[in-house]
Amino acid sequence: MSRAFVNEDDQREAPFVPPRADLPDGVPNYVTPAGMDDLLKEKEMLLAKLKELTNGDDHDKANAITIVNTQLQMLENRISSAQVILKESASDIEIRFGSTIRLQIGDENKNQKFQIVGVDEADIKLSKIAFTSPLARILMHKKAGESVILKLSNGERRFKVISIE
């Protein structure tokens, strides 16, 4: 086709939609019940946003709709693959998915509290770490009083399990 027949206004790049949190191939998509609730709320929010996209010119509207539809598709994939893991009654004996743990980091006297959650729930600002993270992986099945060593690129760091909730 000749360039003479191409509408210059129609030349737009596909919008970039950032991917969801990384979930390695073959790793189940575990989520806590609260995490599943958050995913479903996010879906409702995206559906509402899609309905609101009626203002603006067609070019901006088309890009916004493409972004929201892509986000919805990625979210639907996560929701459909989600395996909700309920907290076990004995989960305060050893660290498992969903456990909230208090750790002593190194030789510091202060403790930090973390919860081991699904990849979509992980947020270090909220003290939630993904079960796929190196720290969570070495802590799994440990008991209060046990220590683990996390190897880092610049050395290693020791963590002692103070308590498990």
Tokens standing for residue 29:
């998509």
Domains annotated for the chain, with CATH where assigned, are: 27-86 (1.10.287), 100-164 (3.10.50.30)
130 close to 137: Cβ distance less than 8 angstroms: no
Task: Please name every residue paired with 44 in a beta bridge, in sequence order, or none if there are none.
Answer: none
pTM above threshold 0.85: no
Residue 152 backbone phi and psi in degrees, to 5: -115, 165
Amino acid 56: pLDDT: 58
From first to last of the 165 residues of the chain, give the pLDDT tens digit.
445 555 555 556 767 878 888 888 899 999 999 999 999 999 999 999 888 886 656 666 888 888 899 999 999 999 999 999 987 765 678 999 999 999 999 888 889 999 999 999 999 999 999 999 999 999 999 999 999 999 999 999 999 999 998
Name the nearest CA neighbour of 29 among 89, 68, 73, 78: 78
Amino acid 32: pLDDT: 95
